[in-house]
Amino acid sequence: MNDADDYLGKMPFFIVFLDPLHTDFQSSGKPLNEYIARHPLMHDKLHRPAFAAKVLEMAANSSNMRVFVRKADALIKHPLHYIVRNGVFRTEEQMWAFINSPENIAAVKQP
């Protein structure tokens, strides 16, 4: 995949994957980038936050994943869009406990 096909990188927000099947951003994002590549009318509008969030949600849904947004606060400067593979957590409470844990916050914190 070349830089022209990295549609997730063109989105105006930070994306974090919780995907036990893949170990890096490129391999986790590959099915989402492929979904977006199949819809060329979307490409020029990915700089719009609301539109990009909806496209990300549709792409994640087609890849058996879900999108959760963690709003910015005193710990995190920017909102984060978590893409979580279905079945990783049994409940949403477990997922939010993991996302808000101090170890995870330290791992995703922007300088």
Residues 56-85: tens digit of each pLDDT: 999 999 999 999 999 988 888 888 999 999
In angstroms, rounded to a whole number, what is the distance separating the alpha carbons of residues 46 and 90?
Answer: 32
Q: How many domains does the chain have?
A: 1
Q: What is the span of the domain harbouring residue 47?
A: 3-108
pLDDT on residue 93: 94
Quick one: how many helices (H) and strands (E) in the chain?
A: 4, 3
Q: State residue 74's pLDDT score.
A: 87
Beta-sheet pairing, 80-85 with 14-18: parallel
Find the mean pLDDT for residues 47-63.
94
* Cα–Cα distance, 22 to 34 (Å, whole number): 16
Tokens of 110: 């922007």
Q: Are 65 and 84 in contact (CB under 8 A)?
A: yes
